Structure 1
Amino acid sequence: MSSPRILVVDDEAHLRELLEIALVKMGLDVDSADSLSAARSHLAQNDYALILTDMRLPDGLGIELVREVTAGEKVIPIAVITAYGSADNAVMALKAGAFDYLSKPVALDQLRLMVQSALRVGKPVETPRPVADSKLRAGAGSALRLIGQSAAMQELRTQIVRLARSMAPVAITGESGSGKELAARDIHALSPRADKPFVAVNCGAIPEALMEAEFFGYRKGAFTGAADDRDGFFQAANGGTLLLDEVADLPLAMQVKLLRAIQERRVRKVGATVEEAVDVRLVSATHQNLAECVESGRFRQDLYYRLNVIELKLPPLRERLDDIGLLVAAILGRLSAFTPQAEQVTLAPAALSALCAYAFPGNVRELENILERALAFANDGVIEVADLGLKGAGQGRPVEAPDLADHYSEAALAAGAPASLEPVVAGMPAQFNGAELPSSLPDYLDDIERDVIRQALTRTHFNRTKAADLLGISFRQLRYRMQRLSIHEQD
């Protein structure tokens, strides 16, 4: 079996020679090119496991080659070599689809780590199918954790598959409870690093005085209580993925140290005199608007650009209500593993309708809490509207509830529930009684909600506080719904 072939593109002869020697020592075959045109000629004649290109070439920029390679049909990881301190070039290359980057002068240990990671990319990952029959596997094999068949979720999973093939830092944004950590775990599980550690860190839960020691580790005797050497989060995640959850909560002093660690890919333990190389794929997550944090001076702009190379935005649950049925089935299936009575519990049609009409300010996490509470209050094995504890439930018009029976079996099994579970809802009544179904359920529901809110506002002479009380929702929920539905006082 032939060795993987690498293409090195650089107009500096001594650097090409250095890279060739290092790669040959790794048992790889190497071709060299000193210009874009020469690189294109090699690509037309050979297949490569990795391309390594300088950013500045005699007849153009390496970013052009990055765009050409990533736009092609073949899946070839391409990494760029940037001048020392040229962070903007590195970020630009990663946004264009580069697998990774190296800074001059090239450190051979970082080169080896990057090449090993690129060679693990392997064959293209299968495009995700809907969750009900999704069996995407990575490494030992695990289904995607994000559940949903809506268009928004299918697009999200497609983005995750693409992001998994890159080393570019990813910033995951979304409201609290929308599944940001699950998205990060899916990116890791589908990446070449799936067999390496995934370390999740809540940046807002670490005391500021301990942050440096927690992130970078410490040497024995570095401070009172340091009885032994200890690795930090970066060392624990070496070779894998480090999730910086709630990254906006990092104090400015720690942001400076984190920026250096990201740029140099080296960390120094507290009390140590030398730095050590780390190979970590960074994923950050926050429910805050980082751009606004930068404007207000609470977050460094240079760190923002390093972390926010690619943004992955998670939709709130209220924007994918089509997934409620599947989520309910999966959550009840998972709860049955810890609550034996959950195996016999069903959801009343009116209860599911109420869930589909609810705004879910806490997103999927709130749905989980609602169902866990409802299990404790359910009588005779049926969860009713009152058991859900939804504010204002049952006060609006009925909303057609999705049929869970079609989805329950596979969704419950994916969540770890026993195969013998009964469907959550049986015999769901039709709401239209033979009438023509709406062409767009979301638009139909929006029209109903818009009419009800306008009636409440008219009845209260546009006193929004009284209108919110009349509708059984909070003032904040009413304001959000008016903004979403474009309802104004002059209407």
Structure 2
Amino acid sequence: MTTHTALIVDDEPDIRDLLEITLTRMGIKTLTAPDLTSALKLLESHNPQLCLTDMNLPDGNGIELVQWIQQHRPATPVAVITAYGNMDTAIESLKAGAFDFVSKPVELNRLRELVNSALKLAQPESQEESATDEPGLLLGNSVQIKKLRNQTRKLARSQAPVFINGESGSGKELVARMIHLQGPRRDGPFIAVNCGAIPSELMESEFFGHKKGSFTGAVDNKEGLFRSADGGTLFLDEVADLPLAMQVKLLRAIQEKAVRPVGDTKEIPVDIRLLSATHKNLAELVQGGGFRQDLFYRINVIELAVPPLRDRKDDIELLANHILERIAREYECDPAVLNADAVERLKEHDFPGNVRELENILERAFTLCDADRISAADLHMGNGMASGGSEVASGAAISDACPTLVPEGDIDLEGYLESIERQAIEKALEATRWNKTAAAKKLGISFRALRYRLKKLGME
């Protein structure tokens, strides 16, 4: 079993002794230094897996040590010990590259959590790379995507809050997930929430949980998103949509690292990595009073920009083939291949909807193409008549197969259309004695489109 070594840097003997005793009981060897000069000498002759440093040292400060280690020992995580309540110093250390921070007086449970998280980073490089190669929409060989992959790998080693900025559909949640997968919290939960999708009156309960009977409808205890993410990562998508009242409560939870469920009188500690994102300009919202400056300051410790798809068009073919392979697996169909004219048509498009738009275009083309090949015409891009024509033809065939369904009163449109489709397909299959090829022909759609619909409707 490998024994880890930690370097402790603090000019107060009592603090050094406390840290040394705590880490020794965790089975970690320790080196100690009372000042910056001594610490640098030890680093030149030893290779510790972790460094704990006080911010204020007799001959310098912890930020200088963080910067030196970032330059000479980037694989060594550094945690900074700050004065109680000094969040400005803590944020400065995180921006300089510190893994995390702990405040005085040092809480031993918090210290042990921090140390265990940091030591998870001291793993073989090959294991880190396996997470990096996780199949996803960070695929590509463009300069922009290579830079983004490098940034996510680096940010995964920190516990600093990251604000991910990018257009809708550009893959912000995927970037957040990649940061989680490559970091020390990879074995913990990854909880993603769209802040704009939660009704304002339910927000506090959704985030922080509630006690049974705390309000009408609270029939059970609920732990909430923060506690669900304990030990892992909480990703707040579209954080700009949070109402001001909720922003205040979110700020407190971040600062105190604790939440108070609705109806409860005590706070519950939580250990999360916070990632957030929006397609809106948060800085402008702060200027206009729509977003709190202090919250912006806390969540925007490090900003990461996700490039739009139009800025990395050389990646489109690789992305498209990956998406088509995934669609084929999901719907248990043979894979489809893009013709050269389809690739060129995709590269000519500006993709205002980014990767999400590419997925939608390819999923539609996959169901409509013949002979497992997708041509430019199958993409139905920029030609409303072509796209509409296919849908109308398909819809006409379905209505011919099932002409008697007429809605009455208020209806769930999506459910109603699914019921029409389901009954039309069942009728066509029964008429052809469950010969799918013949049923597809009767419905006026391709065999692939029928397979797709059967899978989508759960009719297989």
Go from structure 1 to structure 2 and tell me whether the alpha carbon gap of 1:80 and 1:383 turns closer, same or farther (over 3 Å shift). Answer: same
**Residue 130 of structure 2 corresponds to which residue in structure 1?**
137
Kept in 2: contact 1:332–1:342 (CA 8 A): no
Matched, 1:373 2:384: no
Q: Distance in 1 between matches of 2:90 and 2:43?
A: 23
Q: CA deviation at 1:99?
A: 0.3
The equivalent position to 1:196 in structure 2, one of 188, 198, 222, is 188
Q: Distance in 1 between matches of 2:224 and 2:375?
A: 48
Match of 1:102, SS? strand
Q: Distance in 1 between matches of 2:31 and 2:373?
A: 68
The equivalent position to 1:259 in structure 2, one of 230, 251, 265, is 251
Go from structure 1 to structure 2 and tell me whether the alpha carbon gap of 1:378 and 1:13 turns closer, same or farther (over 3 Å shift). Answer: same
Q: Distance in 2 between matches of 1:267 and 1:160?
A: 28
| Farther-moved stretch of structure 1 (332-341 vs 270-279) | 332-341
Q: Distance in 1 between matches of 2:28 and 2:119?
A: 11
**Residue 389 of structure 1 corresponds to which residue in structure 2?**
380
Q: Distance in 2 between matches of 1:3 and 1:382?
A: 56
Q: What code does the residue aligned with 1:347 have? A: L
Give CA-to-partner distance per residue, 1:267-306, whole Å, 9 cap, x none: 2222222222211111111111111111111111111121
Matched, 1:42 2:39: no
Q: Distance in 2 between matches of 1:294 and 1:385?
A: 44
The equivalent position to 1:360 in structure 2, one of 334, 351, 366, is 351
Describe how 1:240-259 pairs up with structure 2 within 5 A: 240-259=232-251
Q: Distance in 2 between matches of 1:248 and 1:108?
A: 35
Give CA-to-partner distance per residue, 1:107-163, whole Å, 9 cap, x none: 2221111111011111364599xxxxxxx3139x84455111112111111111111
Q: Distance in 2 between matches of 1:159 and 1:210?
A: 35
Q: CA deviation at 1:365?
A: 0.4
Q: CA deviation at 1:60?
A: 1.0
Kept in 2: contact 1:150–1:323 (CA 8 A): yes
Matched, 1:101 2:101: yes
| Farther-moved stretch of structure 1 (54-63 vs 369-378) | 369-378
**Residue 62 of structure 2 corresponds to which residue in structure 1?**
62
Q: What code does the residue aligned with 1:161 have? A: R
Matched, 1:320 2:312: yes
Q: CA deviation at 1:29?
A: 2.5
Match of 1:299, SS? coil
Q: Distance in 2 between matches of 1:98 and 1:124?
A: 21
Q: What code does the residue aligned with 2:203 have? A: M
Describe how 1:175-186 pairs up with structure 2 within 5 A: 175-186=167-178
Aligned-pair RMSD on alpha carbons? Answer: 2.2
Matched, 1:116 2:116: yes
Q: Any gaps of 5 or more consecutive residues in structure 1? A: 129-135, 394-491
Go from structure 1 to structure 2 and tell me whether the alpha carbon gap of 1:350 and 1:208 turns closer, same or farther (over 3 Å shift). Answer: same
**Residue 32 of structure 1 corresponds to which residue in structure 2?**
32
Matched, 1:336 2:328: yes
**Residue 424 of structure 1 corresponds to which residue in structure 2?**
none
Go from structure 1 to structure 2 and tell me whether the alpha carbon gap of 1:246 and 1:279 turns closer, same or farther (over 3 Å shift). Answer: same
What TM-score do you get using the length of structure 1 for normalisation? 0.74
Kept in 2: contact 1:342–1:375 (CA 8 A): no
* Runs of at least 4 residues off by over 6 Å: none
Give CA-to-partner distance per residue, 1:31-89, whole Å, 9 cap, x none: 32221112222223332121111111111111000000111145211001112222111
Kept in 1: contact 2:321–2:337 (CA 8 A): no
The equivalent position to 1:274 in structure 2, one of 266, 274, 288, is 266
What TM-score do you get using the length of structure 2 for normalisation? 0.79
Q: Any gaps of 5 or more consecutive residues in structure 2? A: 385-460
Q: Distance in 2 between matches of 1:73 and 1:220?
A: 50
Q: What code does the residue aligned with 1:234 have? A: F
Match of 1:138, SS? helix
Q: Distance in 1 between matches of 2:241 and 2:197?
A: 9
Go from structure 1 to structure 2 and tell me whether the alpha carbon gap of 1:127 and 1:193 turns closer, same or farther (over 3 Å shift). Answer: closer
Q: Distance in 1 between matches of 2:186 and 2:2?
A: 26
Size of the aligned set, in residue pairs, is 384
Q: What code does the residue aligned with 2:140 have? A: G
Q: What code does the residue aligned with 2:155 have? A: L
**Residue 172 of structure 1 corresponds to which residue in structure 2?**
164
**Residue 290 of structure 1 corresponds to which residue in structure 2?**
282
Kept in 2: contact 1:137–1:143 (CA 8 A): no
Kept in 2: contact 1:177–1:364 (CA 8 A): yes
Q: CA deviation at 1:2?
A: 6.1
Q: What code does the residue aligned with 2:307 have? A: P
Q: CA deviation at 1:170?
A: 1.1
**Residue 408 of structure 1 corresponds to which residue in structure 2?**
none
Give CA-to-partner distance per residue, 1:422-468, whole Å, 9 cap, x none: xxxxxxxxxxxxxxxxxxxxxxxxxxxxxxxxxxxxxxxxxxxxxxx
Match of 1:209, SS? helix
Kept in 2: contact 1:138–1:191 (CA 8 A): no
- Identical counterparts, % of pairs: 55
**Residue 450 of structure 1 corresponds to which residue in structure 2?**
none
